[in-house]
C-alpha cells in the first residue's frame, strides 16, 4: 500500500469514527430529552434565553421556557427568577428583558425577577447567573430550558458551582426544527467535552 493510500485510509477511518461518535451523541441527546425531571425547591429559578422575534414577541422555544418557569414559580418551588440572555442582532430587546416583561404580565412581581442580559451562550448564561446568585447568598437553582438542552445545561450549572435541578420545557415539534435543534445540541456537546479535556 502506498503512502498516499495509507493516508487516505486513515482519513476515511477518522471520518467514520467522527460520524459514529456524532450519531451516538445525537442519539443520547434525543434519549435524554425524554427523561422526566423532578425539580426541588431552590433559592431561585434560572430561565435560559432563546430567540426573541423581530416584533418583540417570544419565540415558541422562549415562550415554552417561560411557561415552565411560571408554573414552577406558581407552585412555590422558588420565589426568585433569574432570566438570562443578551440582545441578539435581530432582536429589538434582550432575551432577558422580553422574558421579564412576559413574566410580569403573568403576575410575577417585578421585584422577584433578576435580569442577566450580558450573555450569548449557555455557559455565559450560567456563569453570570451564578455571580448574581453569589451576590445574593443563593446557592441552589432550578434551571429551565428546552428538553433537548437541559442535560448539558445542568452539567454546566454544576461546573460553575450551582446546586442545580432542572425542568425540561417543551420544544417546537416540526420535524425540521426538531432535528436541527438536536443536531446542534450534539455539536455543542462535542465542544463542551473538548473544552473540558483541553
Dihedral sign of CA atoms 62, 66, 72, 75 in order: negative
Task: Go through the domains of the chain in sequence order and give each one's CATH number.
Answer: 33-197 (3.40.50.620)
Average pLDDT, the chain: 88
Residue with cell 406558581: 74
Measure the CA–CA gap between 112 and 53, rounded to whole angstroms. Answer: 25
What does each C-alpha distance from 63 to 48, 57, 134, 146 come to in angstroms? Answer: 11, 9, 27, 10
* Residue 30 reports pLDDT greater than 60: no
User: What is the rounded average pLDDT of the residues 101-125?
Assistant: 98
Residue 73 predicted with pLDDT over 70: yes
For range 14-24, the mean pLDDT: 66
- pLDDT at position 20: 66
Residues 171-184: tens digit of each pLDDT: 877 777 777 877 78
Amino acid at each position: 500500500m502506498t503512502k498516499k493510500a495509507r493516508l487516505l485510509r486513515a482519513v476515511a477511518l477518522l471520518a467514520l469514527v467522527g460520524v459514529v461518535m456524532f450519531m451516538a451523541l445525537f442519539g443520547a441527546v434525543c434519549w435524554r430529552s425524554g427523561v422526566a425531571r423532578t425539580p426541588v425547591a431552590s433559592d431561585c429559578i434560572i430561565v435560559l434565553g432563546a430567540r426573541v422575534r423581530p416584533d418583540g414577541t417570544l419565540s415558541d422555544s422562549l415562550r415554552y421556557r417561560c411557561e415552565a418557569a411560571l408554573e414552577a414559580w406558581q407552585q412555590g418551588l422558588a420565589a426568585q427568577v433569574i432570566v438570562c440572555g443578551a440582545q441578539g442582532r435581530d432582536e429589538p430587546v434582550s432575551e432577558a428583558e422580553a422574558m421579564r416583561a412576559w413574566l410580569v404580565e403573568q403576575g410575577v412581581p417585578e421585584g422577584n425577577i433578576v435580569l442577566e442580559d450580558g450573555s450569548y451562550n449557555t455557559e455565559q448564561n450560567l456563569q453570570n447567573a451564578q455571580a448574581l446568585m453569589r451576590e445574593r447568598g443563593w446557592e441552589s437553582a432550578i434551571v429551565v430550558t428546552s428538553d433537548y438542552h437541559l442535560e448539558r445545561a445542568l452539567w454546566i450549572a454544576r461546573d460553575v458551582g450551582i446546586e442545580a435541578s432542572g425542568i425540561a420545557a417543551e420544544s417546537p415539534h416540526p420535524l425540521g426544527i426538531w432535528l436541527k435543534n438536536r443536531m446542534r445540541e450534539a455539536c455543542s456537546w462535542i465542544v463542551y467535552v473538548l473544552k473540558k479535556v483541553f
